[in-house]
């Protein structure tokens, strides 16, 4: 395997929209108290890494995450890392969106999903992948094959990049989970990308135990659905049907 640069993908910390079960999209939603704590915690894990470049989505929740995680580090903004344009879906509760006719398309056939007055998921995936691959090539050319760089972005964006790295069709990307403040690591090579870490939060395993179901609540098919936008993470997210994804 040829030595090439290493990319760390950081999802922003939890936001007020994540906590309330809403879809933030490109709205200027900020980190909540938990999200700020997550950003500080991931900063402890990132401390000391020799980043050759730090790039971020222009949205405030990503910039806040980096300000807390890597204070004093100048990050370059790149629109290619911004959130999917959910159009009319932005700002809506997920429990309401789960009843929209477009919801099953987003879940089962996302490559065909086009958000009203927004972006197509396929377009989001294409520009996200093109952005990180282009940046990775530039970082390698400028700083050498042992360079390490970081990109801070959003759940669906990172899932799209991971799907590409794994050679997965976009229609399978809802099988991937990317929690707030998690780190995903990819190394591109001339032959293929390698996924070195996925959804690494550095946390214990207790948070992976599903919460107890409230008495009288029946299982619903929608619990198999992915959290559009990324959700609030393990232990902090239930389902769109519960309105807390």
91 vs 142: CA distance, rounded Å = 40
* 96, part of any domain: yes
Q: What angle do CA 95, 99, 105 make, to 5 degrees?
A: 110
Tokens of 233: 């993470």
* 223, part of any domain: yes
* 181, part of any domain: yes
* 74, part of any domain: yes
Q: How many domains does the chain have?
A: 1
| pTM for the structure as a whole | 0.88
Helices of type H across the chain: 16-20, 33-46, 60-69, 94-97, 103-108, 121-143, 155-165
* 31, part of any domain: yes
Whether 216 has a pLDDT exceeding 60, the answer reads no
* 143, part of any domain: yes
* 1, part of any domain: no
Q: Residue 52, SS3?
A: strand
pLDDT tens per residue, range 30-84: 999 999 999 999 999 999 999 999 999 999 999 999 999 999 999 999 999 999 9
pLDDT tens per residue, range 124-160: 999 999 999 999 999 999 999 999 999 999 999 999 9
For β-strands 194-200 and 183-187, DSSP reports them as antiparallel
Q: Domain containing 47: what range?
A: 6-242
Backbone angles phi, psi at 223, to 5 degrees: -70, -15
Cα radius of gyration rounded to whole Å, the chain: 17
* pLDDT score recorded for residue 242: 36
* 64, part of any domain: yes
4 vs 130: CA distance, rounded Å = 17
């Amino acid at each position: 395997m040829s030595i090439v640069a290493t990319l760390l993908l950081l999802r922003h910390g939890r936001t007020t929209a994540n906590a309330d079960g809403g879809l933030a999209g490109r709205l200027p939603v900020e980190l909540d108290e938990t999200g700020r704590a997550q950003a500080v915690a991931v900063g402890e894990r990132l401390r000391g890494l020799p980043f050759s470049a730090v790039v971020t989505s222009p949205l405030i929740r990503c910039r806040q995450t980096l300000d807390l995680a890597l204070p004093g580090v100048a990050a370059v903004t790149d629109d290619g890392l911004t959130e999917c344009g959910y159009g009319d879906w932005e700002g809506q509760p997920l429990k309401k969106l789960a009843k929209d006719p477009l919801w099953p398309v987003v879940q089962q056939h996302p490559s065909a999903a086009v958000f009203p007055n927004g972006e197509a998921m396929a377009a989001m995936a294409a520009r996200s992948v093109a952005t990180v691959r282009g940046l990775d090539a530039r970082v390698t050319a400028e700083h050498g094959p042992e360079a390490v760089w970081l990109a801070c972005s959003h759940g669906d964006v990172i899932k799209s990049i991971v799907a590409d790295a794994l050679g997965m069709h976009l229609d399978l990307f809802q099988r991937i989970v990317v929690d707030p403040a998690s780190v995903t690591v990819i190394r591109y090579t001339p032959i293929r990308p390698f996924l070195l870490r996925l959804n690494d939060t550095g946390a214990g395993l207790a948070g992976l135990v599903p919460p107890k179901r409230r008495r009288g609540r029946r299982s619903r098919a929608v619990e198999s659905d992915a959290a559009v936008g990324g959700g609030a993470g393990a232990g902090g997210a239930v389902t769109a049907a519960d309105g807390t994804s």
